Amino acid sequence: MKTKTIKKVIKSKIDEWTASIEDDAVRSMAEKNTIVTGGCIASMLLKEPVNDFDIYFTDKATASAVAKYYVQRFNTKNAQGIPVPLYVDDENDRVRVVVKSAGVASEDGAEKPYEYFEGRPDDEAGDYVGEIMDDPGDVEEALEDIGALGADDDDGKAKYRPVFMSTNAITLSHKVQIVLRFFGDADKIHENYDYVHCTNYWTSKSGELTLRQPALESLLARDLRYVGSKYPICSVIRLRKFIKRGWTVNAGQILKMMMQISELDLSSHDVLQDQLTGVDAAYFVQLVSKVREKDPDKVDAAYLVEVIDRLF
């Protein structure tokens, strides 16, 4: 898909999402301070289905306002249903959704597994990739091709409603995920990214799409290049998805992940929950729940291995 088509697709999606926000002040902040980055742009360049559009914000105030807006809607919706106490903690340098239990909450209360995804100037490279991957041209056709439209009516339920929450992210219906863990400009956000092919981005302020040469090189070769992450365990787990799609990864990239994991104290309840929750959603919700029930002094590698074997 060509650069100009991707820009139109993202703008169309973000315009529709922001239009669904009923609070005028929150909507205005989201319209001005949104960054779209991650796997969706890579998927569009390869003309593959988009799992979701990952939304970040350029400042803490917007991240906090949007988080509070959706937590309030989630709490109101579930007031007569599943008692899941949620609130937003925006003290210090983080914005996080506090979910009392295993750290996640879903619309129907169910625990859900998580599924994720040279030599040319930047302004030409995207069009080059789009040409060799066959670009449909029309925005509506492009949205349909990549599966970005979502269900037409979704059984009469509202579009872009909160359906799943973790500490670090809010998942909305119709393929939108709001990531709260990191905010700032694109360079700041990408300091915490794992794979370089996901570092292309679009900004609502300028309406421009930026394609990075290392990301395009990785994407065209389908070669995973690990650049470091605050959540290396999730990065290792995500390998399965890419390998199934025909991507390759060399031993050096895996070693870098292992080195980062070796620095973590996974016997700590808080560290383990944070790592398994990750940026996007939750892995191993039951594992986190079991560990929470255990005396911290008794959580060691042997105990974790036993629990994992039982759960799987």
Give the 3-state DSSP-derived string for the chain, with helices as H, strands as E and coil as C: CCHHHHHHHHHHHHHHHHHCCCCHHHHHHHHHCEEEECHHHHHHHCCCCCCCEEEEECCHHHHHHHHHHHHHHHHHHCCCCCCCCEEEECCCCCCEEEECCCCEEECCCCCCCCCCCCCCCHHHHHHHHHHHHCCCCCHHHHHHHCCCCCCCCHHHCCCCCEEEEECCEEEECCCEEEEEEEECCHHHHHCCCCEHHHCCEEECCCCCEECCHHHHHHHHHCECCECCCCCHHHHHHHHHHHHHCCCECCHHHHHHHHHHHCCCCCCCHHHHHHHHHCCCCCCCHHHHHHHHCCCHHHCCHHHHHHHHHHHC
d(C-alpha 157, C-alpha 170), whole Å: 17
Q: Are 36 and 208 in contact (CB under 8 A)?
A: no
Query: Which residues of the chain are under the pLDDT cut of 70?
Result: 77-85, 99-156, 277-286, 288-289, 311-312
Entry pTM: 0.76
Q: Are 276 and 167 in contact (CB under 8 A)?
A: no
Predicted local confidence at residue 129, as pLDDT = 47
HSE, CB side, 13 Å, CA atoms: give it for residue 137.
0
The token duo for 67 is 């988080």
Predicted local confidence at residue 106, as pLDDT = 62
d(C-alpha 228, C-alpha 196), whole Å: 9
Domain coordinates in residue numbering, the chain: 3-221
Q: Are 34 and 157 in contact (CB under 8 A)?
A: no
Mean of the per-residue pLDDT values for the chain?
80
CA distances in angstroms from 110 to 84, 196, 290, listed in the order given? 12, 33, 16
The letter for the amino acid at 13 is: K
Predicted local confidence at residue 201, as pLDDT = 97
d(C-alpha 26, C-alpha 38), whole Å: 23
d(C-alpha 10, C-alpha 35), whole Å: 10
Q: Which residues of 77-103 are buried (b: 16+ CB within 10 A; e: fewer)?
A: ebeeeeebebebebeeebbbbebeebb
d(C-alpha 79, C-alpha 304), whole Å: 35
Q: Are 35 and 55 in contact (CB under 8 A)?
A: yes
Predicted local confidence at residue 280, as pLDDT = 47
Predicted local confidence at residue 165, as pLDDT = 79
